[in-house]
Amino acid sequence: MAFSGLALWADNVSERPSWVRGTWCVDGGVIRRVSDETEAPSVGVIVPGMVDTHCHIGYSETGSVSEDEMVEQARITLGSGVTVVRDCGVPVDNSPAARATGLHLIRCGRHVARPKRYMRDLPLDVDDQRELPAVLASMVHSSDGWVKIVGDWIDRSAGADSDLMPLWDPAVLTDAVAAVHEAGARIAVHAFSHRVIDSLIEAGVDDIEHGSGIDADQASEIAARGIAVTPTLRQVEIFKNFAAQAGAKYPVYAETMQGMYDARRAHFQMLVDSGVLLLMGTDSGGYQEHGTIAGELDLWLQWGAPAQLTIDAATWVSQRYLGYPGLVEGGPADFLILDEDPRDNPTILAKPVRVTVGGTSVWERPSA
């Protein structure tokens, strides 16, 4: 199968991809550039598949779902232009969703939290926090090279003074991160608040999820240390709802959430300007529906990310961070065919004409 078009392409995995016109050939699940004399139909625009680095396949707003439903979630995700998902914690085995659909799924196992310090029934709770390193080391065996912990959450034991508070002592966190790295895995941490961030930087976590409390000094340290941040803007967009629900019962917490909501655009702009490695993630499966990456792309643009940075973050940057090469010579034929140039409107990435994984077409846009 040979085709021509405009592609976001790199000759090898250490090269930064650029936009090139050419002709490509897919054979044995691999993509290669061929000489332009080859007779090949023009398909439009060819881009690497998108990545959702924060997603919960197997979960929905109402809880864990059946195997049929998780397969459907994976199909919807593929149809939105996403070929790689890092699942950021679910209480069920969601591997059937990947097997049935071709979606690349990187599992994190279950969220690890402390009792009453996260959403009910979702995490694995650790009673004695000194057990965290051992719990995470064993979690590595039921995941795909990643684990996920809850770094902060409202601590309701303080009554009306309750606020977002770190779950873990800094020393425990440092030991836990070391145990995960020793087991050959990486660790992502849920973090809304400002006060948890220093302990995450010190402990050397790999990826901060949400990161809404990061200040400018912390951002430059995070950038310098190569820690990734998944800003999940659609999640930050609903902080105003969390604030309203907390209302009079937890006024301090409500003010914290409302403050981050009010500052959200300037905060995201600061992250972009700081050079932090930003990953694309939707948090689908909790408060967000599956297949909603178009809305996340839209918020990145609305809140001031340049179009090319948004395209890069959604595709090859997040792919390479998770161990996939993007669209490269001799690499896996995982790509999207688009009928418009995403540089004019990056949300087009989420409306592919066709989605190919490993050289096989896994999704095609229904004809109108």
Tell me the backbone φ, ψ of residue 135, rounded to 5 degrees: -60, -45
Distance of closest approach, residue 123 Cβ to Zn ion, in angstroms? 11
Distance of closest approach, residue 148 Cβ to Zn ion, in angstroms? 8
Three-class DSSP category at 246? helix
Kindly determine how many residues on this chain lie close enough to bind Zn ion according to the rule CB under 5 A: 2
In the complex with Zn ion, the residue whose CB is nearer, 104 or 148, is 148
DSSP-derived letter for residue 313 is I
Instruction: Please tell me whether residue 283 binds Zn ion under the rule CB under 5 A.
Output: yes
Q: Alpha-carbon distance 320 to 13, whole Å?
A: 8
| Range in contact with Zn ion (rule: CB under 5 A) among 17-25, 66-74, 82-90, 323-331 | 82-90
Given CA atoms 247, 148, 207, 152 in this order, what sign does their dihedral have?
Answer: positive
3-state helix, strand, coil in the chain (%, to 5): 35, 25, 35
The answer to whether 307 and 346 have CB atoms below 8 angstroms apart is yes
Single out the residue of 13, 81, 71, 73 nearest to residue 51, CA to CA. 81
- What would the x/- binding string for Zn ion be over residues 84 to 103, using CB under 5 A? ----x---------------
Distance of closest approach, residue 169 Cβ to Zn ion, in angstroms? 23
In the complex with Zn ion, the residue whose CB is nearer, 233 or 328, is 233
In the complex with Zn ion, the residue whose CB is nearer, 88 or 203, is 88
List 293's β-bridge partners, or say none: none
- 321 to 350, contacts with Zn ion by CB under 5 A? none
Q: Alpha-carbon distance 127 to 33, whole Å?
A: 55
In the complex with Zn ion, the residue whose CB is nearer, 71 or 88, is 88
Instruction: Please tell me whether residue 207 binds Zn ion under the rule CB under 5 A.
Output: no
Instruction: Please tell me whether residue 152 binds Zn ion under the rule CB under 5 A.
Output: no
H/E run at residue 187: strand 186-191
Distance of closest approach, residue 263 Cβ to Zn ion, in angstroms? 21
CA-to-CA dists, residue 348 to 45, 278, 351, angstroms: 11, 20, 5
The answer to whether 319 and 84 have CB atoms below 8 angstroms apart is yes
Q: From the CB of residue 72, how many other CB atoms can be counted at a distance below 10 Å?
A: 17
In the complex with Zn ion, the residue whose CB is nearer, 119 or 224, is 119
Distance of closest approach, residue 59 Cβ to Zn ion, in angstroms? 9
Distance of closest approach, residue 232 Cβ to Zn ion, in angstroms? 7
In the complex with Zn ion, the residue whose CB is nearer, 152 or 283, is 283
Distance of closest approach, residue 213 Cβ to Zn ion, in angstroms? 16
| Range in contact with Zn ion (rule: CB under 5 A) among 65-73, 91-99, 153-161, 276-284 | 276-284
In the complex with Zn ion, the residue whose CB is nearer, 46 or 205, is 205
The answer to whether 57 and 21 have CB atoms below 8 angstroms apart is no
| Range in contact with Zn ion (rule: CB under 5 A) among 149-157, 282-290, 319-327, 358-366 | 282-290
Q: Alpha-carbon distance 351 to 141, whole Å?
A: 36
List 164's β-bridge partners, or say none: 154
Q: Alpha-carbon distance 358 to 28, whole Å?
A: 8
In the complex with Zn ion, the residue whose CB is nearer, 52 or 283, is 283
| Range in contact with Zn ion (rule: CB under 5 A) among 6-14, 83-91, 115-123, 327-335 | 83-91
Distance of closest approach, residue 189 Cβ to Zn ion, in angstroms? 11
The answer to whether 283 and 234 have CB atoms below 8 angstroms apart is yes
In the complex with Zn ion, the residue whose CB is nearer, 283 or 298, is 283
**Can you give the C-alpha Rg of the chain in angstroms?**
21
Distance of closest approach, residue 149 Cβ to Zn ion, in angstroms? 12
Comparing every residue's Cβ against Zn ion, the nearest one is: 283
Q: Which residues bind Zn ion (CB under 5 A)?
A: 88, 283
